[in-house]
Amino acid sequence: MRLRVAVITVVGVAALAIVGAAIWRPALSPVSVPSGFDPALVVKGSQLAAIGDCAVCHVGRDGQAYAGGNPVQTPFGAIYASNITPDPSTGIGTWSEAAFRRAMRDGVDRAGAFLYPAFPYNHYTHVTDADLSALYAFLMTRQPVPAPTPANRLLFPLNIRPIMAGWNLLFLHQGPVPTDPSQSETWNRGAYLVEGLGHCEACHTPHNVLGAEETGHAFTGGVAEGWEGPGLTAATSPAAVAWTADAIDRFLRQGIDNGHAAAAGPMGLVSHDLSGVPEADVRAMASYIASLTSAPDPAHEQQVAQRIAAAQRPPAALDGTPGATIFAGACAGCHGAGAPMMQAGRPSLGLSSAVTAPTPRNATQVILHGLQPQPGEAGPWMPGFAASLDDAQVAAVLSYVRARFTDRPAWTGVEESVHQIRQDKPS
C-alpha cells in the first residue's frame, strides 16, 4: 500500500514536471531600448516587414504604424494585434534581439507567455537569422507609440495561453524552408519568402478545427477575415484563365492584373505593401506561386475570350429578371460593354476570380463594401452598395453576373450567404 502511494506520488510529480517543462518558458531579461543600428540593415528590415505584412495587423487604432490594438477576428474570438513599436512599457522596447527571435521562431513573448498563431509564427519560424536581425533593427527604430494592447476576447479554454504549447507540439514545424536544387535560385528565393515571411498559406490554405493549416492541402484555398483566399493550385484555382508568373508579379506589385482581377480585402493591403518591396523579391514570389498552378492553355483561353465577348450583350434568357434590372441601373455604367472602365482595359467580370469562385463570398464583400485604395493613393475603386441594395437584391445581381459572365454552375444559398456576410464586420 505504502509502496503504491509512493509510486503514484513519484509518477504524479514526474508528470507534473514534464507538463511544467513543456509549458514553462522563462522571461528573457529586459534591455534598454537599443540604438545605433546600421541604416542599411534598417532599410532591409523595412522591405522584409512589407513582405511580412506586419503593418496590416499591427496597425494602431488611430492608424499609427505598428502601434497595435487592431482586433484580428478568428473563429475563436478576437485577438488584438500587439504594439510592436519600441515603446518600453506598452511595446517591445525592452525586448532583446534574442527575445524577438524567440517570438518569431517559437511564438513566445519576452515575458515567457505563449502567443497565438493569428500571429503567423508557424511561418515566421522559417525566417533566417540575418533577416530576423534586419526586422529587429527596423522595428526598434520606429517611432515609439505608447498604446496598451486590449485584452483578447477568446473562447474558453483558448484564453489560457499555455494551451498553445500543445498546439505548437502538433502544428509548429520549425527549421528552414527546404531548398530544391532542381529549381532556379529565383524559385527557391520565392519559396522562402512565400512559405516564411509572406505567410501566404495563412489565407490560401484551409484550416482545421484547431485553427491550424490542414496538412496535405497547402494553397487549396481558405477563408480569413471574412474573405476567401482562393486556391492557388492547378486543381483548386478558380481563375478563368491560368495565372502566369508575369500576371502574378503584376497583381502582387500593382494590385491589379487586367487579365484577371483587382486585389480586394486583405489581399489589397498585401499588394499595397508589396509595391514597395524590391522587384526581384516579388518576381521570386510570383515564380514560386506560378509553379503551383497549371500552365496557360491557349485553346482554353480562346474559348474564355469568346464567351466573354458573347457576354458583352445581355443574354435574352435573363432579360427582365431582377438581377438584369439591377445590373443595368447599378453596375453597367462601369462593367457593361463600352463603359469607360472597360475601354481602359480593365478585366471583364468573366475573368474575375470573385465571380468564378465556388462561393459568392468575395463577390458579396465587394458589392456590399466596395473596393477602396489606401487613403491618398490611386488604385482600383468601386463604391459599396450595402446602403442601397438589400440581401435579396444583392443575391439577384450576384446570380445574374454568375450566369451572364461565366459557364460555372449557379451558386446556391446566395441570399442567406449575403445576409451572413452583411452581419460580419467588414475588414
Partner 1 sequence: MIVLTVNNIRHELEIDPATPLLYVLRDTLGLHGAKYGCGLGQCGACTVMVDKRAVFSCLTPAAVLEGRQIKTIEGLGTIEHPGPLQQAFIDEQAAQCGYCIAGMIMRAEALLERNPSPTDAEIRAQMQPNLCRCGTHTRILAAIHRAAAVTRAAALAVPATQEAAR
Footprint of partner 1 on this chain (CB under 8 A)?
Answer: 62, 322, 324-326, 328-330, 333-334, 340-341, 381-383, 385, 387-390, 393
Closest distance between partner 1 and the C-beta of residue 57, in Å?
Answer: 21
Q: At what angle do helices 245-254 and 279-292 cross, to 10 degrees?
A: 130
Q: Least separation, in Å, of the C-beta of 383 and partner 1?
A: 4
53-to-119, 135, 251, 292, 308 alpha-carbon distances in Å: 11, 12, 16, 22, 35
Q: How far is the CB of 370 from partner 1 (least distance, A)?
A: 8
Yes or no: say if 372 and 384 are a contact pair by the CB < 8 Å rule: no
Closest to partner 1 by CB, 282 or 397: 397
- The rounded distance, in Å, linking the Cα atoms of 143 and 123 is 26
Compare residues 158 and 262 and give the one whose CB is closer to partner 1.
Answer: 262
CB of 371 to partner 1, least distance (A): 11
Question: Is the Cβ of residue 118 or residue 394 nearer to partner 1 in the bound state?
Answer: 394
Return all residues near 33 (Cβ < 8 A) that are at least 6 apart.
86, 88, 93, 94, 140, 144
Residue 270 or 396 with smaller CB distance to partner 1: 396
Q: Minimum distance from CB of 324 to partner 1 (Å)? A: 8
User: Looking at beta carbons only, is 77 or 383 nearer to partner 1?
Assistant: 383
User: Could you tell me the smallest distance in angstroms from the CB atom of residue 337 to partner 1?
Assistant: 15
Respond yes or no on whether the N-terminal peptide bond of residue 157 is cis (omega within 30° of 0): yes
> For residues 312 and 372, which CB has a smaller minimum distance to partner 1 in the complex?
372
Please say whether the beta carbons of 118 and 207 come within 8 A. no
Type of residue found at 300: H
- Residue 181's CB is within 10 A of a number of other CB atoms, namely 6
Of 285 and 389, which has the nearer Cβ to partner 1?
Answer: 389
CA distances (Å), origin 178, targets 182, 196, 268, 291, 390: 12, 11, 29, 16, 50
What is the nearest approach in angstroms of partner 1 to the Cβ of residue 331? 8
C-beta of 187 vs 385, nearer to partner 1? 385
Cell of 103: 517570438
For residue 188, give the nearest of 105, 101, 104, 291 by alpha carbon. Answer: 291
Minimum CB separation of residue 341 from partner 1 in Å reads 8
Closer residue to partner 1, CB minimum distance, 324 or 357 = 324
Distance CA 389, CA 51 (A): 37
For partner 1, which is the closer residue by CB, 239 or 389?
A: 389
Measured distance CA(161)–CA(141) in Å, rounded: 29
Closest to partner 1 by CB, 301 or 390: 390
CA dist., res. 12 & res. 10, Å (int): 5
Query: How far, in Å, CA of 106 to CA of 207, rounded?
Result: 20
Contact 120, 179 (CB under 8 A): no
**Shortest distance in whole angstroms from residue 323 CB to partner 1:** 11
From 341, 323, 309, select the one nearest 401 (Cα to Cα). Answer: 323
Question: Considering the complex, what minimum distance in angstroms separates the CB of residue 384 from partner 1?
Answer: 9
In the bound complex, what is the minimum distance in angstroms from residue 393's beta carbon to partner 1? 5
Burial class (CB in 10 A: 0-12, 13-18, 19+), 322: middle
Query: And the C-alpha cell for 54?
Result: 506586419
User: Which grid coordinates are listed for 167?
Assistant: 498546439
Helices (H), 107-200: 121-124, 129-140, 164-171, 185-195
Q: And the C-alpha cell for 120? A: 503567423
Radius of gyration of the chain (CA): 24
